[in-house]
Amino acid sequence: MKASISINKDDKISAIDNRIYGSFIEHLGRAVYGGIYRPQDKSADEMGFRKDVLELVKELKVPLVRYPGGNFVSGYNWEDGTGPRENRPKKLDLAWASIETNEIGIDEFQEWAKRADTEIMMAVNLGTRGAAEAGNLVEYCNLDTDTYYADMRRKNGFDEPFGIKVWCLGNEMDGPWQIGHLTAEEYARKAHEAAKIMKWTDPSIELVACGSSNRWMPTFGDWEKTVLRECYDDIDYLSLHSYYGNPNNNTPEYLAQPLIMDDFIKTVAKICDEVKAEKNSDKTINLSFDEWNVWFHSNEQDKQVPRWSYAPRLLEDIYNFEDALVVGMLLITLINNADRVKIACLAQLVNVIAPIMTEDDGCWVQTIFYPFLHASTFGRGTALKTDIGCGTYDTDSTKNVPYITASAVENDDGTITVFAVNRSLDEEAELELSGLEGYSLQQHTELCCDDMKAVNSISQPDNVKPSEKAIGEKAVLSAHSWNVLRFIKK
Ligand code: AHR
């Protein structure tokens, strides 16, 4: 088939906030214990952090990592994870029916974040706790006053404040599964009061209020409006969460799901702007898509996990090649919405629905590692508008799904990078590119595999991996492929 992508360098979407390449580590399964931290590991550093995992995290250039949850945070006492280890309580984690030893807390995690060259996006517990404890945590992390919580941090060995800039006001508080689930009105009041105390403690922080846990929540829309009306002046971002999957093994349908993400973002941005107009405010609320990924493979096996285990294998989705295409298109969608999405977190980073997996004898990367690596490496700069001409297909639930989806980024060094996916399962696409006069295609990296269900594993870590395509007269996107096209000035 023939397809066209037209780019006008003067038609910009927005500067890209690098934090859209953020990720997430929750106290859940083997994310922390066994994943980033394993003192007996052959690669462990002096604090017990796995250096093999740190190397892969650094390769992904993750600018921001959300911590410590997730559902976990809604039952968490942050003080349990501070101070001498021998005094830390072992507790039930009601969110994941696991045992939490508190060996790792904010003190250790900020050490890990330094080693990973990343910033922490800290979530506070608005489930079982409230504004006072949230404010105390801000003091503990960010203040250099001679007061109780800042002194407590010093006593624990950290003279310098951690300087955590972005804070989440709870997690998925609209969900009945959440510890301390709230109605929209209850959450809006609680978040407003927590926000006041947190910003009074440190006015330099940015706050993210919970939006809906997904597009299909019965309260979607009303929840956002209620929260925004109450918290508009306190917050900087509203959150969105979404997971995608192919439980019915319908690949054309699955490949169309990134369109749902696009619609979700645009609908929430519209709601933010309606409330802005209602309030006659000059302030724009931007979006934090702070949980997104594919998540469905592990659902059945998770039901077999015994309750009250320590670091059980939970949410360990093994991603196949078609999942990587979907993750690539979700990244394209985030780039194309860079004017409103300023933070996004691939959920999660290690072992739990993750691009990086560990075993006791090493680590390996999943198929989804690659589109994330490419976007995080080459997707920085300014997002440009693209005009795409191509055929479409229909699924039972979605009409007119374009075969080609793409985004274009003008990188800071003047290179233009185009990310493109060909959704067609059987036809390659010959690309007609316009607007790139004066540029030449320098590199074409492709992730493509005959078997849509192919996976990587510790024994076959390179089963699915990218390759370089020869540069010809025309760029050709193979059937069902993820592509990175890099154009340099002639
Ligand atoms: O990322 C896994 C879980 O998904 C998180 O704990 C929760 O916020 C969401 O439902």
Residue-level pLDDT at 473: 86
Four-residue CA torsion sign, 231, 204, 67, 328: positive
Locate the ligand 1 atom nearest the alpha carbon of residue 72 and give its number.
6
Q: Is the CB of 71 under 6 A from ligand 1?
A: yes
Percentage of the chain modeled with pLDDT above 90: 99
Note the pLDDT tens digit of each residue in 38-52.
Answer: 999 999 999 999 999
Q: Can you tell me the distance from the alpha carbon of 304 to that of 276, in angstroms, rounded to the nearest whole number?
A: 47
Residues marked active site are found at 172, 291
Positions of the chain with pLDDT lower than 70, given as ranges? none
Which residue CA neighbors atom 8 of ligand 1 most closely?
70
* Residue 351 alpha carbon to ligand 1 centre in Å: 14
CATH superfamily of this structure's domain 2-8+385-489: Golgi alpha-mannosidase II (2.60.40.1180)
Q: Give the residue, by CA position, lying nearest to ligand 1 atom 7.
A: 70
The confidence score (pLDDT) of residue 405 equals 98
Q: How far apart are CA 58 and CA 15, in angstroms?
A: 23
Could you tell me the sign of the dihedral formed by the alpha carbons of 398, 400, 404, 406, in that order? negative
- In the chain, domain spans: 2-8+385-489, 17-380
Q: What's the confidence (pLDDT) of residue 319?
A: 98
Pocket flag, ligand 1, residue 323 (CB < 6 Å): no
How large is the greatest C-alpha to C-alpha distance in the chain, in angstroms? 68
Please give the pLDDT value at position 182.
98
At the topology level, CATH places domain 17-380 in TIM Barrel (3.20.20)
Mutate to test the pocket of ligand 1, among 24, 27, 71 (most ligand atoms within 8 A of CB): 71
Residue 98: CB within 6 Å of ligand 1?
Answer: no
Q: List the one residue out of 261, 247, 259, 347 whose CA is nearest residue 299.
A: 247
Cβ atoms within 10 Å, residue 437: 7
Protein residue closest via CA to atom 5 of ligand 1: 70
pLDDT digits (tens, 9 = 90+) for 17-28: 999 999 999 999
CB-ligand 1 contact for 291 (6 Å cutoff): yes
